[in-house]
């Protein structure tokens, strides 16, 4: 299927999204809520592009991440109209996360007007929903979006420590604005109002995982875990081979 | 025919050249902390062991990955991490029984040996030949030979 992107002809697979095509062809499209592990959500609208499909008289704006390509089309990824939309999105998101380096940089790049900051919980959250997807992929779904409209925020049910949370912090690492706080000190990890006691390595005493994480792993299969940290697992293997050889 | 990264700890001198070249090729700096291969040295007995990913056929890292970010390289059989898909949940680092998959906190990446796409640099820079890249079928031929040698000695003593 022939797709024209910014005047150049490209080959697309039927049904793939505009964003997938552009990423593969190395055409830059900015995104906040897209992650290759989950695909598009169409939440942040940063990836808006102009498309004119076969048989249409005029182009229209669609979110590149969720729009499947089904017929020959012409796509424009940069135009004054698109630039204006992105500038507005960045301007609005910068109110929530103005001090975040990513938003600071984008505000400069798009020349977005500076509006007074608003307080959001957790601080710097732009509601992209990546953390929710990450948690769901882990099979936990401990966090979700709560309330509606201006009160909408990401939280555990009733802001309480969730039984489903295992403290893996995947949510924090996929967050584009580092809004999710993970505190790790000595034997304790704190995230989403829950305090985890960390399990220590039986050889060197280093704290390396939460009990819940180990339970999660044991459900996925027996890989001969021995309550050892990564370094001690290497040492253990080396030691076994040494004893075997001598 | 599949090849394996074959280590012979009895040949390893513990010079750590492999750690340096590995981190240089993959991370652009000489930093053993970012090397995919590590030398475990027993100083008192003078025994060193190059610990590296075994590219297990049923790989724990691959089995536990919730998003399928670790896949098999068809050409080499290496288990490769796709950083664009990876969520950094670190389950693979806890699951690996050999501690060969780990998290680089400074650069927010899960790192493990990828066999350099079929041309491992550590092999080229190992001065003592303790690491080699050879056909899986014939890799341990020398070990078998050494064992046979021991048998011969025992049998001759018995005469």
Q: Tens digits of per-residue pLDDT, A212-243?
A: 999 998 888 777 778 899 889 999 888 888 88
Considering chain A, tell me which residue range(s) the CATH 3.10.20.740 domain(s) occupy. Answer: 2-78
Partners of A246 on chain B (C-beta within 8 Å) are 45, 47
Q: Is the pLDDT of residue A4 over 60?
A: yes
Q: Is the pLDDT of residue A129 over 70?
A: yes
Q: Can you tell me which residue has the tokens 């005469």?
A: B159
The total number of residues shown for chain B amounts to 159
Percent of chain A beyond pLDDT 90? 74
| Residues belonging to chain A with any Cβ–Cβ distance to chain B shorter than 8 Å | 35-37, 134, 137-139, 168-170, 173-174, 208-209, 213-214, 216-217, 220-221, 223-226, 228-235, 237-239, 241-242, 245-246
Determine the pLDDT at residue A15.
92
Here the CATH number for the domain that contains residue B134 is: 3.30.70.20
**A25 near A17, Cβ under 8 Å?**
no
Low-confidence ranges of chain B (pLDDT < 70): 1, 139, 157-159
Distance CA(B13)–CA(B19), nearest Å, equals 13
Determine the pLDDT at residue B1.
52
Task: Encode pLDDT of A62-115 as tens digits.
Answer: 999 999 999 999 999 999 999 999 999 999 999 999 889 999 999 999 999 989
Residue A38's closest CA among B117, B66, B132, B10?
B66
Tell me the pLDDT band of A17, cut-offs 50, 70 and 90: very high
Query: How many CB contacts within 8 angstroms connect chain A with chain B?
Result: 103
Interface test mutation site (partner B, options A170, A182, A213, max chain B beta carbons within 10 A): A170
**A188 near A198, Cβ under 8 Å?**
yes
* B61: CB partners within 8 A, 6+ apart: B70, B79, B92, B93, B95, B96, B101, B112
Could A238 and B42 be called an inter-chain contact, meaning their C-beta atoms sit closer than 8 Å?
yes
Q: Is the pLDDT of residue A151 over 60?
A: yes
Determine the pLDDT at residue B57.
87
A127-153 mean pLDDT: 93
Q: Which residue from A minimizes the CA distance to B70?
A: A37
Give the total number of structural domains in chain B.
Answer: 1
Partners of A235 on chain B (C-beta within 8 Å) are 40
Q: Can you tell me which residue has the tokens 């103005």?
A: A98
Q: Which of B40, B64, B85 sits opposite A234 (nearest CB)?
A: B40
Determine the pLDDT at residue A245.
73
Record the tokens describing residue B43, joined without a space.
Answer: 């100083």
Distance CA(A27)–CA(A64), nearest Å, equals 12
Could A36 and B82 be called an inter-chain contact, meaning their C-beta atoms sit closer than 8 Å?
yes
Determine the pLDDT at residue B41.
92
Residue B7: domain span: 3-158
Q: Domain A2-78's class?
A: alpha beta
Computed over its alpha carbons, how large is the radius of gyration of chain A?
23
Q: What is the ipTM of this complex?
A: 0.85
């Amino acid at each position: 299927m022939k797709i024209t992107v910014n005047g150049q002809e490209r080959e697309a697979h039927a049904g793939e999204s505009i964003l997938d095509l552009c990423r593969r062809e190395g055409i830059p499209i900015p995104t906040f809520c897209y992650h290759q592990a989950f695909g598009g959500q169409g939440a942040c609208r940063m990836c808006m592009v102009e498309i004119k499909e076969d048989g249409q008289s005029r182009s229209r704006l669609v979110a590149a991440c969720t729009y499947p390509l089904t017929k020959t089309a012409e796509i424009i990824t940069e135009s004054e109209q698109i630039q204006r939309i992105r500038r507005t999105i960045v301007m609005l998101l910068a109110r929530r996360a103005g001090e975040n380096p990513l938003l600071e940089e984008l505000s400069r790049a798009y020349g977005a007007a500076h509006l007074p900051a608003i307080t959001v919980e957790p601080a710097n959250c732009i509601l992209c929903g990546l953390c929710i997807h990450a948690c769901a992929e882990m099979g936990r779904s401990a966090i979700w979006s709560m309330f509606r409209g201006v009160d909408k925020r990401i939280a555990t049910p009733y802001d309480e420590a969730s039984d489903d949370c295992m403290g893996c912090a995947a949510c924090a690492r996929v967050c584009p604005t580092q809004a999710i706080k993970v505190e790790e000190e000595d034997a304790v990890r704190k995230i989403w109002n829950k305090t985890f006691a960390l399990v220590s390595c039986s050889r060197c005493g280093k704290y390396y995982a939460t009990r819940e994480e180990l339970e999660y792993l044991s459900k996925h299969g027996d890989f001969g875990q021995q309550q050892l940290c990564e370094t001690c697992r290497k040492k253990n293997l080396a030691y076994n081979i040494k004893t075997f050889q001598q | 025919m599949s090849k394996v990264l074959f280590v012979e700890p009895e040949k390893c001198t513990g010079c750590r050249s492999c750690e340096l070249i590995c981190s240089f090729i993959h991370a652009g700096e000489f930093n053993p902390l970012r090397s995919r291969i590590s030398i475990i040295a027993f100083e008192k007995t003078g025994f060193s062991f190059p610990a590296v990913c075994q590219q297990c056929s049923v790989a724990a890292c691959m089995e536990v990955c919730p998003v399928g970010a670790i896949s098999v390289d068809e050409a080499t059989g290496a288990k490769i991490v796709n950083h664009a898909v990876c969520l950094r949940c670190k389950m693979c680092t806890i699951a690996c029984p050999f501690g060969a998959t780990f998290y680089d906190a400074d650069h927010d990446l899960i790192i493990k040996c990828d066999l350099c796409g079929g041309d491992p640099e550590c092999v080229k820079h190992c001065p003592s030949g303790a690491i080699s890249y050879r056909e899986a079928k014939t890799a341990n031929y020398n070990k078998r030979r050494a064992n046979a040698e021991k048998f011969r000695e025992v049998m001759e003593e018995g005469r």
